[in-house]
Amino acid sequence: MKQLFILAAGVFILSCNEKKEDEKKEGMGTETAAADIKLPLEVSYKGTPALGSWDNATTVMNFNTAFINGDKDKMGSLLADSVTFTMADGSGFNGIRDSALAVITNWRQSMTDAKQSYIAIVPLNNTTTKDEWVFQWIDEEHNYKDGKKDHAILHEDYRLVGGKIRQINQYAQAVPKK
Residue 63: pLDDT above 50? yes
Eight-state DSSP code of residue 17: H
Region of 156 on the Ramachandran plot (φ > 0 left; ψ -120 to 50 alpha; else beta): beta
Residue 34: pLDDT above 70? no
Phi/psi at 53 (5° precision): -85, 130
Residue percentage of the chain with pLDDT more than 70: 80
Eight-state DSSP code of residue 36: G
Residue 170: pLDDT above 70? yes
User: How many other CB atoms are found less than 10 A from the CB of residue 87?
Assistant: 16
Q: How confident is the model at residue 160 (pLDDT cuts 50, 70, 90)?
A: very high
Out of 8-22, 25-39, 49-63, 98-112, which region has the weakest mean confidence (pLDDT)? 8-22
Residue 168: pLDDT above 90? yes
Query: Quick one: average pLDDT of 155-174?
Result: 98
Phi/psi at 31 (5° precision): -105, 135
CA dihedral 127, 128, 132, 133 (to 10 degrees): -100
Out of 14-28, 77-91, 102-116, which region has the weakest mean confidence (pLDDT)? 14-28
The residue type at 115: K
Query: Quick one: average pLDDT of 109-122?
Result: 97
Q: Taking the model in full, what pTM does it have?
A: 0.80
Query: Considering the domain 47-174, what is its CATH architecture?
Result: Roll (3.10)
Q: Give the separation between CA 150 and CA 141, rounded to whole angstroms.
A: 6
Q: How many residues does the chain have?
A: 178
Q: Are 135 and 124 in contact (CB under 8 A)?
A: yes
Q: Are 166 and 80 in contact (CB under 8 A)?
A: yes
Per residue in 19-29, pLDDT (tens digit) is 444 444 443 33
Residue 8: pLDDT above 90? no
Query: Quick one: average pLDDT of 114-120?
Result: 97
Q: Classify burial at 153, counting beta carbons within 10 Å of its beta carbon; exposed 0-12, middle 13-18, buried 19 or more.
A: middle
Q: How confident is the model at residue 162 (pLDDT cuts 50, 70, 90)?
A: very high
